[in-house]
Amino acid sequence: MALTILKGTVVSAPALGKLDVTERGYLIAEEGRITGVFPVLPERYAGAHAEDFGDALILQAPADLHLHAPQYPMMGMGMDLPLLDWLNTYAFPTEARFADPDYAREVYRRLARDLIAGGTTRVCMFSSLHRQATLILMEELERAGVTGYVGKVNMDRNGGPNLQETTEESMAETLRWLEECRDFRHIRPMATPRFTPSCTDELMAFLGRLAAERDLPIQSHLSENTAEGAWVRRLHPDCGQYWETYAKYGLWNERTVMAHCVWCDGWERQAMKDAGVTAVHCPDSNQNLCSGAAPVRVMLREGVKVALGTDVAGGDTLSMLDAAASAIRASKARRVMDSWETDFLTAAEAWYLATSAGAAFFGERPGFAPGNELHALALDDGKLLQPHPLTPEERLERCLYVRQPGAVRAVWSAGRRVFTAKD
């Protein structure tokens, strides 16, 4: 029997705003699945090897539900431009380079390793429109130990030079890609219309049918920017709201993730709740590209499912710890915008969104629930100065805000140890 026993200060997020803490506790998994968290080692495991991380935090590994793999080389560039100008000036030309498989291999190998080294083990990720590069991305993620979904981007209009397919090419390449990625175990395909302005009605209808026939999850963008929203209304005058441009083609259901959702009004949020769509909050990107501050507290209060994403490279970091801190900051800005009527996020709430809320999209229960796959990291914050003895809750909060190179000591993904820090 494959047995994993981790000893340390075990902290998990079983509910929004709640942390379960077991100091000097044991997180145990059998055959890659969690059996429980225990304050003392159960008798049935007596004599088994326990990996002792001392006072280090044993945390859930985060899930990043929105990032663009081919934009990784351009992180931190063009941050003085709004979304649509940034896409045309930086993102689209960078993505066009992934027609070169050798370049794709170089970038994606680095990306996969950096994700795991930072503790991120689950993703919903955009590739580019290039079939071969998308397969390379899936190979490198699987090799590194990342799990989740990758989408070959579909875009048959408004892509610019060297980054646009014909409708027929997009359909054919997507079908070929789906056949070629059947053997991946931990990285699976996801239907990915880039966003409504990038896809003709014919292509959107094809993707909706394909998602239904192949039981594919779906990812795209929604109400990120006011100029984008106005563009969508011009392209689809028959639709009263942005979300309807997805719903009318069968791309709007409980297996759909929509990034940003900054400008979703009450009607759009209700449509998300009714369909079970997950909103992916990307606070770094929303601030960097001046898109706005998403009404996360309102969405949570209304029962919309919300998770977090880095949105590399609108976002400037792969770290989901940073993303959680950014979500707190954005919620404070939103509180001011809402005339102080909405509460900002706490550290415990932000960590829940970065971990349990994202894991729910993959069918997992919150926290370190028995039966969940083991996705965990050991984080040693012992090099930080302390003003006084800190509680585990205080330590977690500080880990969200203070960057600590090398603090992640080990990572487990889908029950497998996939990273060990070098001393």
Say whether pLDDT at 161 is over 90.
no
| Neighbouring residues of 120: CB distance < 8 A, sequence distance ≥ 6 | 61, 62, 63, 64, 146, 318, 320
Query: For residue 129, which amino acid is it?
Result: L
pLDDT given at position 34: 99
Count of beta carbons in the 10 Å neighbourhood of residue 89: 14
d(CA 368, CA 345): 22
User: Between 403 and 282, where is the model more confident?
Assistant: 282
| Neighbouring residues of 312: CB distance < 8 A, sequence distance ≥ 6 | 67, 68, 69, 71, 72, 75, 318
Say whether pLDDT at 423 is over 80.
no
Per-residue pLDDT of 226-244, as tens digits, reads 999 999 999 999 999 999 9
d(CA 167, CA 179): 19
Say whether pLDDT at 1 is over 80.
no
Average pLDDT, integer, range 188-195 = 99
pTM for this entry: 0.97
R_g over Cα of the chain? 21
3-state secondary structure of 107: helix
* Phi and psi, residue 33, nearest 5°: -120, 140
Strands 256-260 and 278-281: parallel
Q: What is the DSSP letter of 91?
A: I
Average pLDDT, integer, range 157-167 = 92
| Domains of the chain as residue ranges with CATH | 3-61+365-420 (2.30.40.10), 63-354 (3.20.20.140)
d(CA 253, CA 217): 9
Question: Average pLDDT of the chain?
Answer: 97
Say whether pLDDT at 319 is over 80.
yes
pLDDT given at position 383: 93
Angle of helix 347-354 relative to helix 320-337, nearest 10 degrees? 130
Per-residue pLDDT of 113-148, as tens digits, reads 999 999 999 999 999 999 999 999 999 999 999 999
Q: Which tokens sit at 302?
A: 């209304």
Per-residue pLDDT of 333-362, as tens digits, reads 999 999 999 999 999 999 999 999 999 999
d(CA 52, CA 327): 32
Per-residue pLDDT of 377-396, as tens digits, reads 999 999 999 999 999 999 99
Say whether pLDDT at 160 is over 90.
no
